[in-house]
Structure 1
């Protein structure tokens, strides 16, 4: 009994320690946006309005707040004002004069219902408030990053946004009628009978319930809300902005026929840049067969830029930066697809553009330069692109990742973070063209992190698969983050491949990495071949080779880390990954069963063939298995055999490592059946396994869910340390 009591006491102490460390790292807020305001201080300086998100463990929610900083003319000595809670604000925007601020506010009515209001603030007071549900012009306003827009017109009188198309009312075939037959209470439109169960396709994972977006305009002068007609029904519009004269809108339309394929994380969807006038004249500006996003006008209104890649293929890949002359209607490519690497103006390597969006304001004041940020191998870098010379100049910073958030009057505000440091704001003044490398930066914020986090190390491993005779690309990289020691074989190592597979780890702050390393683990984050930020050839090298090349890359990275860092313990290797990372860790435990002690897999792909008919992105299964996808045709038997062969389930009889699954019931990307089926097979093989099933979707990012799955992950590794 005393032994059991001591064991339980040790376990409780261990849990308390993990919880306390989680609370420490969850305390750091995440920077979501920042904007430079024209507001001056005594005729000098600027104001920076920043938005942040922070986990509130007691409420089980992420809260949002705004923080304002007043900075003097030298861009130094910032004065910090009191933060303001903005949790219920979904979207906000300032008019160009900064006289008006529009807010889309979502107010909970009870545990299941919410209402949206469009507020207009003027001179420190609420000027107008529109109850969007009561007006019944459209459905909910879109606030997501793929479709969502919220922008004042150049005249400062109208707000442009995207909303769900208003649905006709429905009723069952038989419904008792009220005795008062003067009206049916549904307005002029008669309800459609028998269509309340009609299936309506949506845009998939994290866009569930978004079926048919429409371009909407709120006129604050007339207090009218209208739907801007003219977009053909086979298109879904989003990312809309005003034309310079305010007489039309520019945006992106995605093809929604014959099927809507999941959009989030996928930059490969067939789409166009469109122009729509106020009188409904619709035209396309980009070419067929392309996937486009993020249109942005220059400050002088002459040039329109956007990101563009070939439609289809891998879910994310390198982009071109296209410039469209608004007067001459001519297009040219400012930055082309980079196959391997090219040189910047300073001589550093540049691997292409992989950013999913451009900053809302990204132009210099003379409309000749563009500022943006993009993943580059093991970090995120920022660049200045000259549209006349097409010169690319890096805004260098070596200590982590840097992202441009806003540009106004050549004042640039950036976010900087590293694995050891949460995001901070910095300001700089853009120098004349050709002198960008002399740009000086000044801190606006400066988080004081726990000394334990500051004491960790971060090393980049350059790796090469010389023995891969089939490969056109052999190099890739990984990041070791964690403690180091003078003692040999002291530190347990968690091998962590990213999801996607066409994404990448960067030296930027991540809560889960901070938690694991502060608890004494080293983590090896592997950007295997196929990751973005290393040239388009790297992206193209993986499709047709998943389950083989990527698995070997991750395992080779682990063996090289053990060689380079003798303080890592080869007897205490663990696997941790989600989505395609979950695919890889379940593969690794099957292909290298003697090397890994335990596995944690979050929403893993375990059977690519079985996933084809249940995922919102069936094209992913085809492309990654090495086949073209045609929505009008079923896949061949050969393709399904290849999908099955490259799946982790193909190696399940080799698995011996205890395996923990974290699964979202509402995951439309990798449905829960993938993990549940694999879980039952492991149990039938007497492999120790456990499955946690959450009311959440693919990222498992709800605060209580995140806390539970991360703490359970750490405890699972600790339980299987010996």
Structure 2
């Protein structure tokens, strides 16, 4: 491609990279119901630094006039976690800085701030009580009710080890000055971690920092077969509640996987341990009500698909009896106002999700085309939609019946919206729905270029499918808001990964970049996707490589018929992970239908994945054969896995294929893509492989920029 066109791609990429995304928000000044502040946290691609920049913004909000103003952002890139005390008199910060004595290492500090100054600062590495503090989905960072302690999750401190033979000075030998805590011969002891994007996280412990005594201690009492995470204080501050995962006989990859056997637990400060949830379940996100009487969490059956529908559970803290508030939904149900509801597929609940009366919670979950937010009444078990005009609405914080949400769509970058729940709560027991009057509290960057983008929702029908409960699926077409000549525009077909995830109508930089460079994009939520009922998820099991491939074909056919700006001779394939599995299937089975392929960390051989992935159970579940953790799998099962793999369809007629592979990918190790690369080369197919020092998501800023621009250049070259 000529240099000016490459420069244009880079210019548009740089413009889109300036749109930040909110990661959290918290309402402050809790004693004033009409005027208060909101602190929000954001991330933005910093191309010059080659990483994501994090920053905080304080917004002053007047609910009566529906006006807000924002202070200048403050960089928080070295802040891992931030927590405000219940009275809002103090805040705590977990900060990570480079180690001055070792440039390859990081130091962690726990800071405590009063309103006017830094009160305390703990060098956690120097104190050497535990390893690194977690700031991911396993982590916590919570003030105690009395505001004298901080609760968090950290890596366990392991005994020091040295070789069996290590030369020592004569002085140390004579003085017997040897560390009695050092063990010999355990330097290379294997400790299994949690896999993809959680490498090095092997055994977690619960840490408590006592701000009165300045003592950091480990809360003991967790049985050896469990590891804890997502901990919160009990209402009286005399214990903690959290999630424990069963790690016997081994750990299976955790990120993107909600199916791991786990329990809600209670541990007192005296070390008394008990389980609060049932056996054979997978749980997450425990949250206490403001009055301390109720505990809610998300729950599903352990095992099976890596992600599927959840129940919302509620436990009476006094009696320790639990009940189902929202059950799993097979297909769809009618909720308040006659709206359709397809079940709970959210990975978590907002940290503060409760209404003021402790009878309702706000949550957000994928629903077919978008992420929608709902109010759940725990007294009546009713569900009410919090409506928005367009796009996805994700709840970030709830306080005193005021909710802060993030809102975005394919042609609208994220903004923060504030809404009062009063109208919804007044009509909570009535059949009719009520609306929330939203108003924007965050500043917006001009987004004129995105006005050129339009999107359309599609419902695709498989007329050959006899099972009428699963004969439809959803798709979304995103294209230019203009009217080019018929057949002028190339079409990028983009199935999502997983396979049990979904495409949602929210701002996605890669989609916007494709659109602004003249491509239409088709996103397919093939059968097996979440957000459309549990039956839809289960329908794909045993049918990967068949049903999902068929659905992509059906959706593509419909778009080509419905949008004549596209023609069948300009169709391109782009997908990662299971999306990579699908685009390599499609290009192998129907090679003349596609001009070029870009596959990102694709699954190529399902049988081989059983031995090399951090989630070997995935291969069995998707092929619909029993998983045996001992590895004793029948030959027939592997034959079934092999049969559904795209490697079977590699041929000399395959279209030009670009492979984008992460060297640190533990989910779909790079050998999958490399084996396919060698097969393509052996079949004399034009191919290229880019190998990045990154993990499954290829989300490092320089990597993302390189792989996206290379993908676009590959498409232009082969149109």
* TM-score, normalisation: structure 2: 0.97
Tell me which residue corresponds to 2:110. Answer: 118
1:607 aligns with 605
Partner of residue 441 from structure 2, selected from 440, 444, 460 = 444
Distance in 2, Cα, partners of 1:184 & 1:271: 47
261, 265, 272: which one pairs with 2:256?
265
Residue 215 (1) aligns with residue 206 (2): yes
1:225 partnered with 2:216 = yes
8 Å CA contact retained: 2:591, 2:655: yes
Deviations 1:332-359 (A, max 9, x none): 1100000000011010100000000000
Q: 2:19 aligns with which of 13, 16, 28?
A: 28
Give the alignment partner of residue 473 of structure 1, picking from 470, 474, 498. 470
2:561 aligns to what SS in structure 1?
Answer: helix
Partner of 1:559: 557
Specify whether residues 381 and 185 from structure 1 end up closer, same or farther in structure 2 by C-alpha distance, changes over 3 A only.
farther
Q: Does 1:350 align with 2:348?
A: no
Distance 1:305 1:407 in 2: 15
State yes or no: 1:482 paired with 2:494: no
Partner of 1:316: 307
- The equivalent of 1:76 in structure 2 is 66
What whole-Å deviation, never above 9, does each CA across 1:240-260 have from its counterpart, x for those lacking one? 000000000000000111010
| Conserved 8 A contact 2:652-2:680 | no
Q: Within 1, Cα distance between the matches of 2:153 and 2:447?
A: 42
Query: Which of these residues, 517, 521, 527, is aligned with residue 529 of structure 1?
Result: 527
Quick one: distance in 2 between partners of 1:230 and 1:572? Answer: 62
- 1:676 Cα offset (Å): 0.3
CA 1:183 to 1:358, structure 2 compared with 1: closer, same or farther past 3 Å? farther
Contact between 2:193 and 2:202, CA under 8 Å: does it hold in 1?
Answer: yes
- SS of 2:337's equivalent? coil
Structure 1's 258 and 719: CA in aligned 2 closer, same or farther, altered over 3 A? same
Q: Deviations over 1:273-325 (max 9, x none)?
A: 00000000000000000000000001100000000000000000000000000
Contact 2:363 2:375 in 1 (8 A): yes
CA distance in 2, matches of 1:642, 1:680: 23
Q: TM-score, normalised by structure 1?
A: 0.96
1:4 counterpart residue number? none
> What's the counterpart of residue 36 of structure 2?
46
Residue 92 in 1 paired to residue 82 in 2?
A: yes
Change (3 A) 1:476 1:185: farther
1:496 is matched with: 494
**Alignment partner of 2:318 out of 327, 340, 352:** 327
In 2, Cα distance between equivalents of 1:170 and 1:506: 49
Q: Does 1:435 align with 2:427?
A: yes
Cα deviation, residue 470, structure 1: 6.7
3-state SS of the aligned residue for 1:529? coil
Q: Which moves more between the two structures, 234-243 or 326-335?
A: 326-335
Cα pair distance change 1:526/1:247, threshold 3 Å: same
Shifted more, 633-642 versus 465-474: the winner is 465-474
Contact 1:45–1:75 (8 Å) recurs in 2: no
After alignment, is 477-486 or 81-90 more displaced? 477-486
Alpha-carbon spacing, 1:410–1:482, altered in 2? closer, same or farther (3 Å): same
Question: 1:520/1:40 Cα in 2 relative to 1: closer, same or farther (>3 Å)?
Answer: farther
Provide Cα deviations, 1:154-197, integer angstroms capped at 9, x if missing partner.
0001110000000100001110012222778775x421111111
Matching residue of 2:707? 709
Q: Secondary structure at the match of 1:15?
A: helix
Residues 366-418 of structure 1: per-residue CA shift (max 9 Å, x gap): 00111111000010111011111111110111310001110111111111000
Q: Contact conserved, 1:421 with 1:449, CA < 8 A, in 2?
A: no
1:3 counterpart residue number? none
Residue 61 (structure 1) aligns with: 51
Post-superposition offset of 1:655 = 4.5
For residues 220 and 505 of structure 2, the distance between their equivalents in structure 1, rounded to whole angstroms, comes to 45
Separation in 2, partners of 1:628, 1:250: 33
> Does structure 2 retain, via aligned residues, the 8 Å contact 1:369–1:384?
yes
Among candidates 341, 361, 376, match of residue 370 of structure 1 = 361
* Aligned residue number for residue 143 of structure 2: 152
Runs of 4+ in structure 1 deviating by more than 3 angstroms, as ranges, are 182-187, 469-472
- Residue aligned with 2:66, SS: coil
Taking the aligned partners of 1:449 and 1:684, their CA distance within structure 2 comes to 50
Closer/same/farther in 2, CA of residues 548 and 470 from structure 1, 3 Å limit: farther
After TM superposition, the structure 1 = structure 2 runs for residues 266-285 of structure 1, keeping only pairs within 5 Å, are 266-285=257-276
Verify the 8 A CA contact 2:331 2:469 in the aligned structure 1: no
Quote the Cα distance in structure 2 between the aligned partners of 1:415 and 1:264. 23
Match of 1:463 among 457, 460, 464: 460
TM-fit CA distance, 1:482: 1.6
Within 5 Å, give how 1:98-247 maps onto structure 2.
98-109=88-99, 111-145=103-137, 147-181=138-172, 189-247=180-238
What does residue range 504-543 of structure 1 map to in structure 2 within 5 Å? 504-543=502-541
Instruction: Name the CA distance, whole Å, in 1 between partners of 2:177 and 2:28.
Output: 47
Q: 1:39 to 1:346 in 2, by over 3 A?
A: closer
> How far does residue 611 in structure 1 lie from its aligned partner after superposition?
1.1
In structure 1, the gaps of 5 or more residues are: 1-9
How far does the alpha carbon of each residue in 1:42-68 deviate from its partner, in whole angstroms, 9 at most, with x for none? x84010100000111011010100000
- Is residue 70–residue 443 contact of structure 2 (8 Å, CA) maintained in 1? no
Query: Are 2:59 and 2:442, in contact at CA under 8 Å, matched by a contact in 1?
Result: no
Aligned to 1:5: none
* 2:661 match: 663
Q: CA deviation at 1:445?
A: 2.0
Q: What are the superposed Cα offsets for residues 23-55 of structure 1, whole Å, 9 maximum, x if unpaired?
A: 0111101110001012667x8401010000011
Distance across 2 between alignment mates of 1:248 and 1:67:
33
Taking the aligned partners of 1:185 and 1:547, their CA distance within structure 2 comes to 64
1:81-138, Cα deviation, whole Å (9 max, x unpaired): 1111000000010100111111110001254211101111112311101011110100
Change beyond 3 A, Cα 1:225–1:540: same
Aligned length: 709
Corresponding position of 1:587 = 585
- Asked if residue 574 in structure 1 is aligned to residue 566 in structure 2, the reply is no
Residues 313, 628 of structure 1: 8 Å contact kept: no
2:424 is equivalent to residue 426 of structure 1 = no
Task: Quote how far apart the aligned CAs of 1:451 are.
Answer: 2.1
Contact map agreement 1:169 1:186 (CA 8 A) in 2: no
Q: Name the SS of the counterpart of 1:438 in structure 2.
A: coil
State the distance in 2 between where 1:465 and 1:389 align.
Answer: 37
CA RMSD of aligned residues (A): 1.4
State the SS of the aligned residue for 1:14. Answer: helix
Structure 1 Cα separation of the partners of residues 113 and 245 of structure 2:
33
